[in-house]
Amino acid sequence: MHQITVREYARQTRLFKDAWKGSGKVYGYRKLHDNLMEFGETNCPNRVARLDRLAGFRAEISYKRKPGKYGGKPSVVVDNTLDRQFDVAAQNTAWVSDITYTKT
């Protein structure tokens, strides 16, 4: 088992700090680990997380929803002109679509 010196921890913490500041103080330990792997540093994610936490680096969370502020303007409800009668006499008189891809 190999021992890591205090000097090596300090060097790695400086590398983490530079990478963290370079990301705009956004990266968490996972992205810091990936970033440092690109530069040839060999660390496990657990060490990066531990040194990250000890140095006081915090990842930027994308957004926080404010309580009680859900939705925006009320949606417009369109009348049901087909009244569930999907059999039509001629083409292009009624159109339907599927919006299951829309995230709600």
What pLDDT sits at residue 59?
Answer: 78
Shortest CA distance to 31 belongs to which of 5, 65, 62, 10? 62
Show the tokens assigned to 12.
């790695």
Helices (H), 23-95: 29-38, 45-55
Q: What is the pLDDT of residue 1?
A: 40
Each of the 104 residues of the chain gets a pLDDT tens digit; together they read: 456 778 887 888 888 888 888 888 788 888 888 888 888 887 788 888 888 888 888 877 766 666 666 666 667 777 877 777 778 888 888 877 777 777 66
Nearest to 59 by CA among 29, 93, 95: 29
Nearest to 37 by CA among 54, 15, 55: 15
* This prediction's pTM: 0.48
